[in-house]
Amino acid sequence: MVQFLQQLINGVSIGSIYALMAVGYSLVYSIMNFSNFAHGSVIMLGAYLGLFAMTLLHLPFGMAFFAAAAGTAFIAVALERLAYKPLRDRKAPFLYFIITAMGASIFIDNSVIATIGPTPKVFPPIFQEGPIQLGQFALGRIDLAMFVISAVCLVALIFFIDHTKMGKAIQATAYNMKASALMGINPNFVIIVVFAIGGALAGVAGVLYGMKYQVFPTIGNITMKSFIAAVFGGLGSLPGALLGALVLGLIETFVSGYLSTQYRDLIAFLLLITMLVVRPTGIMGKNAEDKA
């Protein structure tokens, strides 16, 4: 029982990071109907920005954290303006968006390798060493920070989407971009806001993931897991992305704890294939026309 609860805590912790990554996919997909595969590179840049803010600029963790989020928000918006907006203006097929996103991701990753180098880097110590003992349970300080910060960010995002004027505009644009434009909503501005939010959350996820593990140019590959979570919960559905991320985090943790870490990725991709075959729209996705 103790081991089960310990694995449950670990699963929720990693699931919360997947959730931060997955909502970025879902927000962009809900508006533009394509999967932004460059999102992982933005997460990687967020990890580097947070690391360099602490090591080179000697900023405290709080300021470095917000600097990384602000930096990735700017990068995500710049990526949309430079790479995706010209395609939107030409009404290019969605396949072109996916190809462009993959090309942008490869360009960013290799640029970091060429300039910074492929050697993994480690965040300086932020919390006291040793876990927090709660009776028979050991709760890692970084794991606790990951869960708390992720929860605060996700609750703030849900409140923003559900209870603000801009949040309602995002929902309207996601439902029907042309109709929302006729009602006075500026779709271009909504897209900028969505990419800024997704980029900021990517920066948060990058810093948290880099704190727990290491920072390296291909760290963005972990977002394949968040993509699986978004598909599992339902692409375009914010609650679905959160649910899918938590479920995936728990499944991976229990598989690693009770079977072997070798089966962790196998189970994750098996889950993706099964969901696409059985229910392509995901758990909370809505029936719609096929989307790239």
- Assess contact for 223 and 232: CB atoms under 8 A: no
The residues pairing with 35 across neighbouring beta strands, listed in sequence order, are none
pTM for the whole structure: 0.85
DSSP 138: E
Residue 277: which residues within 8 A CB-CB, separation 6 or more?
Answer: none
**Domain layout of the chain by residue ranges:** 15-118+128-220
Instruction: Give the per-residue pLDDT at 236.
Output: 66
Instruction: Give the per-residue pLDDT at 52.
Output: 92
Instruction: Give the per-residue pLDDT at 292.
Output: 36
Residue-by-residue pLDDT tens, the chain, 292 positions: 667 777 777 788 888 888 888 888 788 888 887 778 888 899 999 999 999 999 998 889 889 989 999 999 999 999 999 999 999 888 888 889 989 999 999 999 999 999 998 898 988 887 766 667 666 666 777 878 888 888 898 889 989 998 899 999 998 988 888 888 888 889 899 999 999 999 999 999 999 888 888 898 888 887 777 778 877 777 667 777 788 888 888 888 888 777 777 777 788 788 778 877 887 777 766 554 444 3
CA 87-88-92 angle, 5° bins:
55
Instruction: Give the per-residue pLDDT at 1.
Output: 65
Q: In 3-state terms, the chain is what percent helix, strand and coil (to 5)?
A: 75, 5, 20
Cβ–Cβ contacts within 10 Å for residue 84, how many?
23
